[in-house]
C-alpha cells in the first residue's frame, strides 16, 4: 500500500471531511466507525472499510483516531480490537480527538512500550474548517514523530504547532475551548441585551465587530444567534465535555476556573433541555430564556 496508506477511525461531523481531504490529497484510506452508515459513505467516496480499529492498524502504517472523549480514545487505541493490537513496531497512531491530557499521556506510554509512535493532535475550527482543511492543530509528542507526520497535518490544517510532550496538544485544546466558550457566552449576553433594549442585534453586531470586541468567535457565532440557526458545527454536549476536562485538569493543577465552571453549567442545563446536539452557539438560548426574549424573534 506504500507510504500513502492511512487509517481513519471515527467518521463523525469532523472525521468525515478530514478523511475526504486526505483522499483528495492522494492518500489511500482504510476506515472504521461504530456507525456503519458513516463507513458506507466513505467507501462510496473510494475508501476501504475495516471491521475494527485493530484491522485498520493491521492494514495501514499510520492510524488517525477522531472520537468523542477520553474513554472512546482508550477503547479505539488500547481496548480489545483497538489499534494498538493491530499496530506493528514503527507504525504510528495520531489521536486527533479532544480528550483529557492525562489520558493522552496514558495512551502515549502504552504506545511507547509497543514501539509505536504516538501524537495527541486535537483540532479547533469546527466543521467548516474541517471541510476547508484549515483547522488549527495542537500537537503533543516527540519532535521526530511530529516532523515525520506533519505532511498529514498540513493537509488537514493551516496552523500546526507542536506544543510539548504527550498531553500538551490536549492541554492547549482545553485552553482554546475555555476562550471559545467564554466568548460565545459574552456574545450571547450582548446580543440579548441589545434585543431587549429594542435595537436590531445585527446592527449592534456590525457596529462592534470591527472594534476590540471583534473576534473569530463573534464572526462565526453572532450570525447564527441572530438567525436562530443552531445547526451543529460543534455540539453543545461536546463543548460541555471539553469544559469538564478543563475543570478536572484545573483541579489537578490547582488552577481555579470560575468562568469556565459557570459556562459548563449553562451547557449542562442546555443538555437537560434537550439541546445537547445543537451548536454551541445555543448558549444564547440559556441567556434568552433567562431574559424572556429571543434574539432572532420579532
Contact 13, 233 (CB under 8 A): yes
CA angle at residue 121 from 133 to 38, to 5 degrees?
A: 60
Active site residue 221: no
Alpha carbon distance 273, 214 (integer Å): 30
Query: What is d(CA 157, CA 136) in angstroms, rounded to the nearest whole number?
Result: 6
Q: Which residue has the cell 480489545?
A: 80
In sequence order, the 6+-apart residues with CB closer than 8 A to the CB of 54 are 81, 82, 83, 85, 86
List the grid coordinates of 65.
Answer: 483516531
Q: What is the DSSP letter of 259?
A: H
Task: Determine which one of 173, 221, 241, 275 is catalytic.
Answer: 173
Q: What stretch of H or E contains 160?
A: strand 157-164
What are 118's three cell numbers?
Answer: 504516538
Q: Which residue numbers are catalytic?
A: 173
Amino acid at each position: 500500500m506504500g507510504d500513502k496508506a492511512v487509517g481513519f477511525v471515527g467518521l463523525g461531523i469532523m472525521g468525515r471531511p478530514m478523511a475526504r481531504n486526505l483522499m483528495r490529497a492522494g492518500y489511500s484510506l482504510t476506515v472504521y466507525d461504530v456507525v456503519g452508515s458513516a463507513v458506507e459513505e466513505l467507501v462510496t467516496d473510494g475508501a476501504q472499510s475495516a471491521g475494527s480499529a485493530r484491522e485498520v492498524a493491521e492494514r495501514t502504517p499510520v492510524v488517525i483516531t477522531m472520537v468523542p472523549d477520553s474513554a472512546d480514545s482508550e477503547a479505539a487505541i488500547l481496548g480489545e480490537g483497538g489499534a494498538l493490537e493491530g499496530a506493528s513496531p514503527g507504525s504510528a497512531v495520531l489521536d486527533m480527538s479532544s480528550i483529557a491530557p492525562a489520558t493522552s499521556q496514558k495512551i502515549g506510554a502504552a504506545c511507547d512500550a509497543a514501539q509505536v509512535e504516538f501524537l495527541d493532535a486535537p483540532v479547533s475550527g469546527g466543521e467548516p474548517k474541517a471541510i476547508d482543511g484549515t483547522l488549527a492543530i495542537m500537537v503533543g509528542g516527540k519532535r521526530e514523530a511530529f516532523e515525520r507526520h506533519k505532511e498529514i497535518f498540513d493537509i488537514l490544517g493551516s496552523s500546526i504547532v507542536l506544543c510539548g510532550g504527550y498531553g500538551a496538544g490536549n492541554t492547549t485544546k482545553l485552553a482554546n475551548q475555555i476562550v471559545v466558550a467564554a466568548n460565545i457566552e459574552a456574545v450571547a449576553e450582548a446580543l440579548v441585551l441589545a434585543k431587549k433594549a429594542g435595537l436590531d442585534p445585527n446592527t449592534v453586531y456590525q457596529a462592534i465587530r470591527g472594534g476590540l470586541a471583534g473576534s473569530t468567535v463573534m464572526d462565526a457565532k453572532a450570525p447564527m444567534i441572530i438567525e436562530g440557526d443552531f445547526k451543529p458545527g460543534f455540539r453543545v454536549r461536546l463543548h460541555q465535555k471539553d469544559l469538564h476536562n478543563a475543570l478536572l485538569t484545573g483541579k489537578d493543577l490547582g488552577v481555579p476556573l470560575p468562568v469556565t465552571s459557570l459556562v459548563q453549567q449553562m451547557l449542562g442545563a442546555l443538555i437537560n433541555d434537550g439541546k445537547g446536539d445543537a451548536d454551541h452557539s445555543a448558549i444564547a438560548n440559556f441567556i434568552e430564556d433567562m431574559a424572556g426574549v429571543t434574539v432572532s424573534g420579532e
